[in-house]
């Protein structure tokens, strides 16, 4: 199978680890500059994307920043984006099927998903994060290693949860604890109330 990864940084390398583990045997990185091969895989420029499409490649955006992922997608919205799911990730009843309806998600080793979670596209769910029941994950979210979402939490488009942060339980389906669009929750923070769009919060409680 063939996969092209947008990005050529450490996160892109980690993305390629999942690709190799899940059966991709021809992998390209797409960088801003031509570089030496990374982990044995060629690095090419964005201008080569049409040739990859003709060659039957699938695509993933291997960039940690939500805004940067959205920027790549806005330039190349029609590509054949796939999900990458590490075999050790676990899913509650019906949840893997929900993920497979979406595109562009990267799910790392040890990620845990409960059930009745509504997924978006192009999300990143890093090592050992947890997403509990009845959460809503909109497009381009990033959940960093060890971050924990309790039940009834909504991450709006581009929300970023730092390492070992957590979001406490929302009140109900209609009153979800919400992290706003392109808001950032700092490492180790505990979110106890809604976070507005584009806000950076940190600490315990997060503010």
Per residue in 33-42, pLDDT (tens digit) is 877 898 999 9
For residues 148-172, average pLDDT: 97
Residue 129: the pLDDT is 99
> To the nearest 5 percent, what fractions of the chain are helix, strand and coil?
20, 30, 55
For residues 104-113, average pLDDT: 99
pLDDT tens sequence across 8-30: 999 999 999 999 999 999 999 99
Name the pLDDT band for 32 (thresholds 50, 70, 90). Answer: confident
Please say if the pLDDT value at position 89 is more than 90.
yes
pTM for the whole structure: 0.96
Residue 161's nearest CA partner among 90, 92, 101, 111 is 111
Q: Which residues, 6+ apart, have CB-to-CB distance to 133 below 8 Å?
A: 92, 114, 115, 116, 117, 151, 152
Residue 34: the pLDDT is 75
pLDDT tens sequence across 44-88: 999 999 999 999 999 999 999 999 999 999 999 999 999 999 999
Residue 35: the pLDDT is 77
pLDDT tens sequence across 122-153: 999 999 999 999 999 999 999 999 999 999 99
Residue 91: the pLDDT is 98
What are the structural domains, with CATH classification, of the chain?
2-75 (3.40.50.20), 83-207 (2.160.10.10)
Residue 36: the pLDDT is 86
């Amino acid at each position: 199978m063939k996969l092209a990864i947008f990005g050529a940084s450490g996160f892109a390398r980690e993305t390629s680890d999942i690709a190799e583990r899940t059966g991709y045997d021809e992998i390209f990185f797409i960088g801003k500059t031509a570089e030496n091969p990374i982990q044995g895989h060629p690095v090419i420029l964005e201008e080569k994307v049409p040739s990859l499409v003709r060659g039957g490649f699938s695509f993933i955006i291997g960039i940690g920043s939500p805004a940067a992922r959205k920027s790549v997608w806005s330039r190349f919205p029609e590509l054949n984006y796939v999900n990458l799911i590490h075999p050790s990730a676990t899913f509650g009843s019906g949840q893997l099927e929900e993920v497979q309806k979406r595109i562009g998600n990267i799910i790392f080793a040890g990620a845990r998903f409960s059930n009745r979670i509504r997924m978006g596209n192009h999300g990143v769910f890093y090592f050992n994060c947890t997403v509990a029941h009845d959460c809503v994950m909109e497009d381009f979210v990033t959940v960093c290693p060890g971050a924990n979402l309790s039940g009834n939490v909504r991450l709006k488009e581009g929300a970023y949860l730092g390492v070992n942060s957590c979001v406490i339980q929302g009140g109900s389906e209609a009153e979800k604890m919400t992290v706003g669009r392109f808001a950032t929750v700092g490492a180790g923070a505990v979110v106890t109330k809604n976070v507005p769009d584009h806000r950076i919060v940190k600490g315990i409680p997060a503010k």
